[in-house]
A and B are shown apart, each in its own frame.
Chain A
Amino acid sequence: GENVEQHPSTLSVQEGDSAVIKCTYSDSASNYFPWYKQELGKGPQLIIDIRSNVGEKKDQRIAVTLNKTAKHFSLHITETQPEDSAVYFCAASWSTGGFKTIFGAGTRLFVKA
């Protein structure tokens, strides 16, 4: 079955620096890659996503890249702020699977002021 590996598990950056989280997936049928942010006591919140026919997508300070050949995808956060501190999950999903989503284990991001 599908497996999603995510690293690092913990990331600490200084406010204003960039943060990068990397993921790999195993099932070449995956065609949708969402990223979720989870704050303490809350459910995950979708922050950005990318489909397999796109290599890069940007939304303000966050961007995602996808390398289908290598089965790698990454999240980039620029100009980090303390409110970016949270757990981030990458995920892989596929349309033929009803968009059932397989999540990575998460990255805990600390942004130091």
Chain B
Amino acid sequence: DTGVSQDPRHKITKRGQNVTFRCDPISEHNRLYWYRQTLGQGPEFLTYFQNEAQLEKSRLLSDRFSAERPKGSFSTLEIQRTEQGDSAMYLCASSLHPGGSYGYTFGSGTRLTVV
């Protein structure tokens, strides 16, 4: 297992376009988290899944954002009608609970630039 993979690494899009990011967690991890990180700040929680169930969504996650984790494996995060304020690093993390460390394994992120 090579860890948490995120695709693409970089995405430049025009304002108003839709974008989709993919995260492949560590295969045995049942929890998957999405975070957003802007320059000079710590990651901010967006949403998380236990297997295929989305258990919590942050108020940061407006109705333009949607996340899925079909079959409890990979996850996608879609942003519709992108705005310049959506420009950020989108980080995915996974963990095993119970039975594993409570800490996360993060991917390298997808950097989104909205022009």
Contact = CB atoms under 8 A, between A and B. Distances in A.
Contact of A99 (B41, B97, B108): B97
Contacts of B103: 34, 46, 49
Contacts of A98: 31, 48, 50, 55-56
Nearest to B55: A98
B40 interface: yes
A43 B91 CA distance: 7
Interface in B1-50: 4, 31, 33, 40-45, 48, 50
A44 B41 contact: no
Contact of B40 (A100, A102, A104, A105): A105
Interface residues of A, number: 27
Contact of A45 (B40, B95, B106): B106
Interface residues of B, number: 26
B104 interface: yes
A100 B108 contact: no
B51 interface: no
A91 to B, nearest CB: 8
B49 to A, nearest CB: 10
Contacts of B40: 105-106
Contacts of A41: 108
A42 B43 CA distance: 13
Contacts of B55: 98
Interface string B40-78: 111111001010000110000000000000000000000
A88 to B, nearest CB: 10
B108 A46 contact: no
B56 A99 contact: no
Interface in B66-115: 91, 93, 95, 97, 101-109
30 contacts: A4-B42, A41-B108, A42-B109, A43-B4, A43-B91, A43-B106, A43-B107, A43-B108, A43-B109, A44-B91, A44-B104, A44-B106, A45-B106, A46-B104, A49-B103, A89-B43, A95-B102, A98-B55, A98-B56, A99-B97, A99-B102, A100-B45, A100-B48, A100-B56, A101-B45, A101-B104, A102-B45, A103-B44, A105-B41, A106-B42
